[in-house]
Amino acid sequence: MAEDDQQQRAGARPGDPQSYEQARDELADVVRRLEAGGLTLEESLTLWERGERLAGLCEEWLEGARVRLAAAMENGAPDESPAPF
């Protein structure tokens, strides 16, 4: 996603990942850390909240990709059959 798109994304916060891939990788790390255990309750809650934020960001990026794909498919040549997502 372009930097301008990132800045305009609804609810973007300082420290948010700059790409879907960064958010996905950080979310996977959060899950690994939570599953490993050994954290205090406060640490676990903080990680859980971060994970929820990251999951929401990933969902936003995926929805944006779906919209772009749908638009591209609509603008394709008439003889092209649409490919499933």
Q: Residue 26: give its domain's CATH number.
A: 1.10.287
Higher pLDDT, 74 or 43: 43
* 59 belongs to a structural domain: yes
The C-alpha atoms of residue 52 and residue 1 are separated, in whole angstroms, by 21
Contact 30, 47 (CB under 8 A): yes
Q: Provide the pLDDT for residue 77.
A: 52
pTM of the model: 0.71
* 2 belongs to a structural domain: no
Give the 3-state DSSP-derived string for 6-63, with helices as H, strands as E and coil as C. HHHCCCCCCCCCCCHHHHHHHHHHHHHHHHHCCCCHHHHHHHHHHHHHHHHHHHHHHH
* 10 belongs to a structural domain: no
* 44 belongs to a structural domain: yes
Q: Two tokens at 57? A: 């960001």
Q: What is the count of structural domains for the chain?
A: 1
Q: What is the span of the domain harbouring residue 61?
A: 15-74
Q: Provide the pLDDT for residue 85.
A: 66
Mean of all residue pLDDT scores within the chain: 85
